[in-house]
Structure 1
Amino acid sequence: MPHTKPLLISILACIFSFGPLTVQADQAYQIMKVKRELIPLTIDIAGTVAARKTVQLTAQIPGRIKRIAGQEGDRFSRGNELISIDDSALRAKLDAAVAQRDAALASMRNANVQLYREVRSPQSTAGSAAPGGMGMPSMMDQAFTNPMQNMMGMRNRGAERHSDVVNRQTQVAQANTQYKQAEAQIKEIQASLRDARSIAPFNGVIESVNVEVGDTVQPGQQLLVYSETSGFQVLTDVPVRLRPGLSEGMSLEVRLDGADPVIYARISRIFPVADRTQHTVHFELDLPGNTVTTVGQYAEVSVPDLSTRQNSNLVIPNSAVRKKGGLPLVFVVDAKGFTKLRVVRLGEAANAGNTVVLSGIREGDLLINNPPPGLRAGTQVMAPAESAQAPNNNQ
């Protein structure tokens, strides 16, 4: 009993300190009815802050590191060269491939000329070279011997000419193939030359560098990690039983390590398949753009647990609560439209801007939200007929 007297004295002092009764019926007030709401149980899940977009640049060709554009924390624009590998050997191969292409082009021109000559001046009809003079023996062969051999079936001049033409056409095709092979080799070397340079795919910052100038690298070896810093995400894994309470676009409470205020982050992606060993589902939350954080920072995400039974609680806005002498007070409106002060006992935060009330008011009571400065107990804020639907306020 002695312990309750100081509390009663404090409550009475808080109530009567608001002064005598006044009438302010001409002023507009935000009057709301106390209701019960289902407050879902939440479980805090550990997460990690990460950049919204991160790429790991790896070596595509073997070679020696020639240049690194910066170090950890340096910012670059899209298209800037981040790291390069010595390409002197590739450029030597490119020069050799260009020379092979030029030689193939010359062979292709010669083959076309020889084919044209075979068509216009067939070698199969030419006689053997005669020693001096007017070449009379050759002329006799062309005029009498060759036709007689062809007539007697000893030779077939048409087949010989066809064979010569096909031979020239084959030479043309071979020269054309050599030219295409040289062109393909040049394109392959040029692609390797492009792979010798790692280009920034977007505006961002170097997160980590894993090599030094002069290091010898092999294809697939990680060179550096490059991240976009225009926005951050929280990556976390939740138990499968909590998955039904989550959906893309849903906002969840996030607490960053070392930061007091609660941040509301939106779920941007939920992986469709659960981890078979951990039995968890991976999902990503986008932090607001003005969030001050860094990659790798620890975070806690409050995830609703729909698998547990939910209890209904009285919920009021935080803006309806006023404190006097350390006691939380609210203005209620009775059946006659007059304000009364009630001391309430508050519970945990319900959701954005709301708090659970454990005692002090009842469901259906009328409260004044955002009470203006100077409002006192006993002020008439509404007509009696308007407050007649709140019978509990008389108590």
Structure 2
Amino acid sequence: MKGTLKFLPISLAMILAFSCAENDSVEAKKAELEKLKAEVIELNGTIRELESELTQLDSGFAQQNQKSILITTADARKGNFEHFVEVTGAVLSKKNVSISAETAGRIVEVPAIEGMRVSRGQVLAEIDSESIQRNIEEIENSLDLARTLFEKQERLWKQQIGTEVQYLEAKSRKEGLERNLNSLKTQLDKAFVRAPFDGTIETVQVRLGELVQPGAPMFQFVGENDLFIEADISESYVGVLGKGDSVRVSFPSIGQEIKTRVSSVGSIINPNNRTFKVEVFMPKLDLVKPNMLAVMKIKDYENPEAVVVPSKLVLSDNRGDYVFVVEEGKAQKIYVKRGKTFQQDAEILEGLAGNEQLVDKGFREVGDNFNVNIAQQ
């Protein structure tokens, strides 16, 4: 036991010595790693400086050292280019009317509601006509008697019995009562407010039990036929648009587009917004309703022999507009003269023939004389 205890301090000393040696080795390796990283950073910086200097001094070295950039291409085309002015308008109806009462009385029934589609002659409201109906009944009773007396008097007159005055009086009384009856029936018919044509009830301005007078507005009514599109056009387009010109009209809410024509061009400039009104013929479409938003596309320019390229590929610098054209595996910077632009297309007036391949995807990564590799599409 005593022998074992004698060797214990020696073992602990060996372990501690080995541990210190191991720690020194790890720290040395870390230091060596940091030193190598610093050397790599310094070396990379030196390499970049040399490459930059050689690129400026030797164009051949620049071309050899340049990596190919992966791109896709888009073709320039030669053909018809059209430019349109887009103007927001609205679908209106020439049959937008206010329906008023034609007789006085109290409202006893209002079957019409806002937004209701009705047919011509359909009853929208009924005005109390009890007094008129009673007068009609009295007139009809009196007319029955007057007709009987007239028929008897007429038979007597044909037999040359009685006087002519008696015959004329009987005839006059009968005809007078017939006129009165027709007048009362006309008044009775006016007690029923009817739709003048097929359309939609926009607003209801009367309530059940309300007393109305002749001329009092009761309904705002819009017909479904005779629709047209109206828009305000800037005065800068005076002379560009004329009656009969073709226009395209789209309806964003239903996703439809039609081709129609201008039916009327205003001759007065609105001093408030410097515009003039244009009306466009509206063919009958089931989904198009009055007050619907419409976007009119008016063609103000056309070039049948234009060179057309995607507008996003036309870039600009201090010298002007340019595009990158692919020639023999390299991107060439070609300066162009741009004309009008509409949606995704741009008109090129000078600089391109219309048969070039343009750098599409990757056009912002390339430069003049950069090597390019066209990806398979």
Structure-2-length-normalised TM-score: 0.54
Which residue does 1:250 correspond to in 2?
Answer: 246
Structure 2, unpaired ranges of 5+: 1-65, 317-321, 361-372
Matched, 1:99 2:152: no
Which residue does 1:85 correspond to in 2?
Answer: 127
Paired with 2:208 and 2:146, the residues of 1 have a C-alpha distance of 40
Paired with 2:131 and 2:68, the residues of 1 have a C-alpha distance of 87
Paired with 1:277 and 1:100, the residues of 2 have a C-alpha distance of 66
Instruction: Give CA deviations for 1:214-243 in whole Å, capped at 9, x if unaligned.
Output: 122122221101234689643345578856
**Secondary structure class of the residue paired with 1:219:** coil
Structure 1, unpaired ranges of 5+: 1-11, 20-29, 120-163, 380-395
Paired with 2:111 and 2:155, the residues of 1 have a C-alpha distance of 53
Which residue does 1:58 correspond to in 2?
Answer: 100
Q: 1:365 is matched with which residue: 350, 354, 360?
A: 354
Cα pair distance change 1:248/1:60, threshold 3 Å? farther
Instruction: Give CA deviations for 1:340-371 in whole Å, capped at 9, x if unaligned.
Output: 99999988654xx7733358x74642379xx9
**Secondary structure class of the residue paired with 2:171:** helix
Q: 2:264 is matched with which residue: 258, 263, 270?
A: 270
Instruction: Give CA deviations for 1:54-102 in whole Å, capped at 9, x if unaligned.
Output: 3322111111111111322233344432111111121122122213322
Q: 1:17 is matched with which residue: 66, 71, 91?
A: 71
Paired with 1:117 and 1:82, the residues of 2 have a C-alpha distance of 54
Instruction: Give CA deviations for 1:27-49 in whole Å, capped at 9, x if unaligned.
Output: xxx995256x6857x5x766444
Paired with 2:356 and 2:167, the residues of 1 have a C-alpha distance of 97
Paired with 1:108 and 1:180, the residues of 2 have a C-alpha distance of 10
Larger Rg: 2
Cα pair distance change 1:295/1:362, threshold 3 Å? same
**Secondary structure class of the residue paired with 1:366:** coil
**Deviates further, 53-62 or 63-72:** 53-62
Instruction: Give CA deviations for 1:154-208 in whole Å, capped at 9, x if unaligned.
Output: xxxxxxxxxx7xxx22322232222222222222222222222122344443210
Equivalent positions of 1:166-315 (< 5 A) are: 168-228=163-223, 233-237=228-232, 244=239, 245-248=241-244, 250-252=246-248, 266-267=260-261, 269-270=263-264, 282-285=277-280, 296=291
Which residue does 1:115 correspond to in 2?
Answer: 157
Which residue does 2:345 correspond to in 1?
Answer: 355
Paired with 2:307 and 2:177, the residues of 1 have a C-alpha distance of 79
Which residue does 2:35 correspond to in 1?
Answer: none
**Secondary structure class of the residue paired with 2:146:** helix
Q: Read off the aligned partner of 1:266 and give its amino acid letter.
A: T
Which of 1 and 2 has higher RCO (CA within 8 Å, sep 6+)? 1
Structure-1-length-normalised TM-score: 0.52
Q: Read off the aligned partner of 1:103 and give its amino acid letter.
A: L
**Contact 1:250-1:266 within 8 A present in 2 as well:** yes
**Contact 1:34-1:362 within 8 A present in 2 as well:** no
**Secondary structure class of the residue paired with 2:208:** coil
**Deviation, structure 1 residue 285:** 3.3
**Secondary structure class of the residue paired with 2:230:** strand
Cα pair distance change 1:304/1:282, threshold 3 Å? same
